[in-house]
Structure 1
Amino acid sequence: MATFLLTFGALLVIMLGMALGVIMAGKSIKGSCGGLNAISDADQCLVCSKEIDPNSPLRDRLQGCPRKRKMMERAQAES
């Protein structure tokens, strides 16, 4: 039982430290590159503006994805 409490306490302190680090840094949390960002029909990633591989297999698999359609509409509205 003591091992469980010690482990739980350690994980709690670690998670609290990470949360405080994000808060103190003043940066907002944002999505990562890849995934739906990489399958848009754009030439660059919407998150980091890096070039997107035109031969990505994700493009073929998720061609009719409704989330992709919404993301593209939002990107066009911002432009």
Structure 2
Amino acid sequence: MLTFVLAFSLLITVMLGMALGVIFSGRTIKGSCGGLNAITDADQCLVCKKEIDPDSPLRERLLCPRAKKALAEMEEQSAA
């Protein structure tokens, strides 16, 4: 039982240290370039400000079936 308490307290101490490091560093946590930025219909990446390819295959691969259906309906409405 003593081993468990020591291991748990060490884990909590490490997590607290990492949390305080993030809080006091003053930097914001950022996502990666591409990925979900490619499907947000944004012109530029939110992280690196590079232009996003509108024909990226990520747009089709990352959208769920419900979002694909809604996107198709919006395209049909804009075409009509």
TM range (shorter): 0.5 to 0.7
> What is the TM-score normalised by the length of structure 2?
0.55
TM-score (norm 1): 0.55
Identity rate of aligned residues, in percent? 70
Higher Rg: 2
Give the residue type in structure 2 aligned to 1:37.
N
Unaligned 5+ segments in structure 2 are 72-80
Q: Over the residues paired in the alignment, what is the CA RMSD in angstroms?
A: 3.0
1:3-43 Cα deviation digits (max 9, x unpaired): 22122111111111111111211223344434321223344
- Whole-Å Cα distance in 2 between the matches of residues 28 and 37 of structure 1? 17
* Bigger helix share: 2
Q: Using the alignment, how far apart are the partners of 1:34 and 1:2 within structure 2?
A: 47
**Which aligned pairs between 1:1-79 and structure 2 lie closer than 5 A?**
1-52=1-52, 54=54, 56-61=56-61, 62=63, 65=67
Paired residues in the alignment total: 66
Q: In structure 2, what is the Cα distance between the partners aligned to 1:26 and 1:41?
A: 29
